[in-house]
């Protein structure tokens, strides 16, 4: 096939949906994976892509998804998220387990399942969306920051293990992005989520998607190892200039 295929996980909303649109505009055939097929179907129609049910926390779901993808040139590991803001001494193990299953093991499962096809393509590319939380810490964020640190380490290790193979690896490291992220983290509390973004202009999902598409369309000999992007008003995971 002359059209290159890009697989995007967590594609039903936020960064994943925006990345699917951006990659489709760049000429890729996009394969969209997420649990909410009702949201994926109209996006697949909009992008002339393919919508497939996917739960990255379920090994059987990942295996079934991968079997239905005949070839893969770009994998965007985007599925992830945070749940809760408990301090370490009050950590909720259910929250931790979900964050590690989604961010770390989900990335592991998807990469394992599609890496042979990425290498066989002769010009594969794994793009993993982590977070600045994977490179720093903040109070109340230990479950999420530890998961993102592990996800970043997994991705960097792949870069070393596949040096010399026809596959590139890019880590996208966003700061504050206004999506469903905070609403989900706060169990649907939209008022609390809105306060996260008060007093400054956060990144939009489309900002991150543009960077994903940019990385995916560089010449095959160019590997953008890590791209850190934050709002102008953000210094780190906990420091912002708010008007």
Active site residues: 144
Annotate 53-119 with DSSP letters as a single string: E--TT-HHHHHHHHHT----SEEEE----------GGG--HHHHHHHIIIIIIHHHHHHHHHHHHHH
C-alpha closest to that of 224 among 140, 147, 151, 168:
168
Can you tell me whether residue 174 is helix, strand or coil?
Answer: strand
Work out the number of other CB atoms within 10 angstroms of the CB of residue 222: 10
Pair 177, 208: CB distance under 8 Å: yes
Whose tokens are 């939209």? That residue is 190
What CA–CA distances, in Å, run from 73 to 12, 41, 44, 105, 167? Answer: 21, 22, 18, 21, 9
Paired sense of beta strands 74-77 and 226-229, if any: unpaired
Output helix, strand, coil percentages for the chain, rounded to the nearest 5.
45, 15, 40
């Amino acid at each position: 096939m002359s059209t290159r295929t890009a697989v995007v996980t967590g594609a039903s909303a936020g960064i994943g949906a925006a990345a699917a649109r951006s990659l489709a505009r760049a000429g890729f055939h996009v394969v969209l994976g997420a649990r909410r097929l009702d949201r994926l179907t109209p996006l697949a129609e909009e992008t002339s892509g393919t919508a497939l049910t996917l739960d990255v926390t379920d090994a059987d779901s990942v295996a079934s998804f991968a079997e239905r993808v005949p070839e893969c040139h770009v994998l965007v590991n985007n599925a992830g998220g945070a749940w809760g803001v408990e301090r370490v001494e009050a950590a909720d193990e259910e929250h931790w387990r979900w964050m590690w299953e989604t961010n770390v093991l989900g990335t592991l499962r998807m990469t394992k399942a599609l890496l042979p096809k990425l290498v066989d393509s002769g010009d594969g590319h794994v793009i993993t969306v982590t977070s600045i939380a994977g490179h720093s810490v903040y109070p109340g964020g230990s479950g999420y920051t530890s998961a993102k640190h592990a996800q970043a380490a997994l991705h960097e290790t792949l870069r070393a293990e596949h040096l010399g193979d026809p596959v590139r690896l890019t880590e996208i490291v966003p700061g504050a992005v206004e999506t469903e992220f905070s609403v989900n983290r706060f169990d649907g509390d939209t008022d609390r989520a809105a306060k996260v973004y008060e007093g400054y202009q956060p990144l939009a999902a489309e900002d991150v998607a543009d960077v994903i598409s940019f990385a995916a369309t560089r010449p095959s000999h160019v590997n953008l190892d890590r791209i850190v992007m934050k709002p102008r008003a953000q210094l780190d995971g906990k420091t912002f200039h708010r008007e």
